[in-house]
């Protein structure tokens, strides 16, 4: 709350400064206009364009909104971008904004999955392509596109004079249903006028997503990232890309079909050229992936029973890509083609397109395929930039993994080949964000050690603040339980945690705790696989049944959508609320969850919703995972130079 108010107060002060500057500018323009008019009165033959070299302070002969854009851009009100990991956390931040005395115009950016209210579109497997198809098709009456909610946007603008909706996702969806307009495009259109923008991490951090959403940052804007302890992983993921040979084969087939159709229809050369160029990229990479895994000479080979991996570093990457005809200049052209495809796909029939343009739009590369190619080409461009500053921060990896196809009657193994460009240093992406804006503010309860955190991001933080915990020590108890009731050591490594003795004693310890602690209890474990093993063991020994007599039992789902998870948490909250009303058969709820999973952050688990947290084991990364191994090697190599934690740490 304090940080939000401070940012809003700063913005309000900038608003006042901007007003004064605009008034001064208006006075200068008024004086300039009067000077020109006086000169014209003295000499009627003199026209405005005769002032070829006016004094420095009079160079903007055009007045008002037609003045040089850069001057007015400098006087634009700085925007505040507030990011967090999940939409639940964003909803809480919007709620906090409502508690302040400030009333800026704001918008919440989200995907079609969050905003779309067209049931026909929502039922389709790919909601993005279904939306694009609805916008490209004509309505039954021939007026506009085939989405009534998009067509309703014009009516919504007439009914509401405000430029921004100033609502969270839930309220904007309700307003869209009531007013029959599209919440997704309403939010997109409000972006330009909003003074405060709420969005998930990747909408600001990932350059590809930022471009696709139309987010343009300026050197005056401020970005606040809440729950920033995840930002290292987010930046590495944003700078990385992976694609399988099957995916490239499918994209190549899709592009081949589009190219044939465009040629048959005699489509404009630029649209055809874009798809032909991208088909060439998909074909080259697909052929390279499917052949020659044994013939790689430049990269380092690593093999085990069911995998074969080749890793390229430094100049090896440049040489390998150059052999495939992939250069930074070529990537720039291909990314330009993708940008035009994205822009065309966001236009709807009835929005200034000709009939021919509308027909061309129906033959564009699908949204999912475009995103895959965008991520892959963007990662390559980071590697091959002219300065090659980030070359050492990348590894190009190609690996084959044996996979069983369930659809195969013989259930025989087949090899799936994957190409990866792995970013090992988050500074590659975070540095790009920092260079675009006025300031970036990171906030979290777990950023320590701050020195190595800053080193990972490659950024010097001039201002740092480490505050005391908001909860007084007298209200909490933290302890380590080293052994179970029967004496089994609670050593949280893989070997020990797989033993029945460990699981049985753990079950007895949990049982004793939930007998004592009322209301809500959360039990975190390192992985979904261990949670399944533990639950099966507790069920086999009868402990699960005993726990069920004390509390209603829940398990965090690994699969399923947002609605399924929301239904589970609603049931959890309802159970606690029921117990608060008085003596019940059950004394609360026990929920098994996974570190860094859906329940680990972004939920309201205060007071009786969570009276105890049981943290079992340590969420170690998968040490044999190639990406983890390469990151550890990278940190060991650069620990002294970049002040990074060593791989073992």
> Which residues are within 8 A (CB) of 402 and not within 5 positions of it... i.e. 6 or more apart?
306, 307, 413, 414, 415, 416
Whether the CB-CB separation of 524 and 614 falls below 8 Å is answered with yes
Instruction: Give the pLDDT mean for 375-381.
Output: 93
Between 119 and 266, the more confident residue is 119
The answer to whether 375 and 241 have CB atoms below 8 angstroms apart is: yes
Statement: residue 302 has pLDDT above 70: no
Question: DSSP character for 78?
Answer: P
Q: Could you tell me the pLDDT band of residue 140, with boundaries at 50, 70 and 90? A: low
Contact assessment for residue 587 and residue 551, using Cβ atoms and an 8 Å cutoff: yes
Q: Going edge to edge, which strands form the sheet with 612-615?
A: 552-555, 588-594, 519-525, 612-615
CA dist., res. 192 & res. 187, Å (int): 10
Q: Mind giving me the DSSP string for 129-141?
A: HHHHHHHHSBPTT
Q: Is the pLDDT of residue 63 over 70?
A: no
How do 80-84 and 222-226 pair as beta strands?
parallel
Asked if the model's pLDDT at residue 445 lies above 90, the reply is no
pTM: 0.80
Structural domains in the chain plus CATH codes: 1-77 (no CATH), 240-424 (no CATH), 473-615 (3.40.50.300)
In this predicted structure, the answer to whether residue 528 has a pLDDT above a threshold of 70 is yes
Range list of H helices, 346-442: 355-361, 367-384, 427-434
Say yes or no to pLDDT of 524 above 90.
yes
Sorted by sequence, the CB contacts under 8 Å of residue 189 that are 6+ apart come out as: 153
Determine the Cα–Cα distance for residues 537 and 157; give it in Å rounded to an integer.
59
d(CA 214, CA 189): 10
447 Cβ contact list (under 8 Å, min separation 6): 228, 229, 453
Q: Which helix (H) or strand (E) holds 213?
A: none
Q: Residue 326: helix, strand or coil by DSSP?
A: coil
Mind listing the pLDDT tens digit for each residue in 200-254? 988 999 988 888 888 989 888 999 998 888 899 999 999 999 999 999 999 999 9
The answer on pLDDT for 300 being more than 80 is no
Token reading at 601: 């952050």
Start-end of H helices in 58-193: 69-74, 87-98, 112-115, 119-122, 127-136, 148-151, 153-159, 169-179, 183-190
């Amino acid at each position: 709350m304090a940080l939000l108010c401070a940012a809003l107060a700063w913005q309000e002060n900038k608003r006042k400064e901007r007003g004064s500057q605009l008034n001064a500018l208006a006075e200068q323009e008024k004086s300039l206009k009067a000077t020109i008019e006086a000169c014209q009165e003295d000499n009627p033959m003199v026209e405005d364009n005769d002032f070829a070299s006016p004094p420095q302070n009079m160079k903007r002969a055009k007045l008002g909104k037609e003045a040089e854009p850069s001057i007015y851009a400098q006087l634009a009100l700085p925007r505040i971008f507030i990011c967090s990991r999940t939409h639940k956390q964003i909803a809480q931040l919007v709620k906090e904004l409502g508690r302040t005395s400030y009333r800026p115009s704001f918008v919440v950016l989200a995907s079609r999955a969050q905003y779309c209210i067209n049931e026909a579109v929502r039922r389709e497997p790919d909601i993005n392509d279904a939306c694009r198809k609805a916008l490209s098709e004509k309505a039954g009456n021939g007026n506009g596109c085939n989405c009534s909610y998009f067509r309703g946007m014009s009516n919504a603008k007439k009914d509401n004079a405000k430029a921004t909706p100033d609502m969270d996702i839930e309220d904007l969806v309700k307003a869209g249903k009531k007013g029959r307009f599209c919440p997704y495009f309403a939010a997109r259109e409000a972006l330009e006028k909003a003074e405060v923008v709420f969005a998930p991490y990747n909408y600001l951090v990932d350059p590809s997503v930022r471009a696709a959403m139309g987010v343009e940052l300026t050197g005056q804007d401020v970005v606040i990232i809440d729950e920033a302890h995840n930002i290292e992983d987010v930046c590495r993921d944003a700078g990385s890309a992976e694609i399988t040979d099957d995916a490239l084969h499918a994209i190549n087939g899709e592009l081949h079909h589009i190219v044939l159709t465009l040629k048959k229809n005699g489509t404009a050369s630029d649209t055809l050229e874009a798809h032909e160029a991208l088909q060439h990229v998909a074909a080259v990479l697909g052929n390279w992936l499917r052949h020659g895994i044994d013939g790689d000479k430049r990269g380092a080979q690593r093999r085990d029973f069911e995998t074969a991996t080749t890793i390229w570093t430094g100049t090896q990457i440049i040489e390998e890509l150059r052999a495939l005809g992939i250069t930074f200049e070529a990537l720039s052209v291909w990314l330009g083609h993708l940008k035009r495809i994205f822009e065309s796909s966001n236009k709807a029939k009835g929005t200034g397109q000709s009939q021919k343009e509308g027909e061309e739009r129906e033959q564009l590369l699908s949204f999912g395929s475009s995103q895959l190619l965008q991520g892959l080409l963007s990662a390559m461009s980071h590697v091959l930039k002219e300065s090659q500053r980030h070359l050492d921060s990348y590894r190009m990896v190609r690996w084959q993994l044996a996979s069983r196809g369930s659809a195969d009657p013989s259930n025989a193994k087949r090899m799936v080949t994957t190409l990866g460009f792995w970013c090992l240093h988050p500074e590659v992406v975070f540095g790009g964000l920092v260079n675009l804006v006025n300031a970036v503010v990171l906030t979290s309860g777990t950023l320590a050690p701050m020195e190595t955190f800053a080193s990972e991001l490659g950024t010097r933080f001039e201002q740092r603040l480490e505050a005391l915990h908001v909860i007084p020590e007298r209200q909490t108890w933290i302890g380590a339980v080293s052994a179970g009731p029967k004496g089994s050591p609670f050593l949280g490594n893989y070997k020990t945690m797989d033993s029945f003795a460990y699981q049985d004693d753990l079950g007895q310890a949990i049982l004793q705790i939930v007998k004592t602690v009322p209301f809500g209890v959360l039990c975190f474990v390192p992985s979904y696989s261990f949670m399944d093993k533990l639950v099966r063991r507790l069920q086999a020994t009868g402990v699960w049944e005993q726990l069920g007599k004390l509390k209603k039992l829940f398990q965090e789902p690994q699969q399923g959508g947002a609605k399924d998870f929301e239904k589970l948490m609603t049931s959890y909250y309802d159970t606690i609320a029921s117990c608060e009303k008085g003596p019940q058969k059950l004394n609360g709820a026990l929920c098994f969850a996974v570190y860094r999973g859906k329940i680990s952050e972004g939920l309201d688990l205060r007071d009786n919703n969570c009276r105890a947290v049981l943290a079992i084991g340590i969420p170690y990364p998968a040490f044999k995972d190639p990406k983890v191994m390469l990151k550890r090697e990278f940190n060991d190599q650069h620990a002294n130079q970049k002040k990074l934690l060593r791989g073992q740490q």
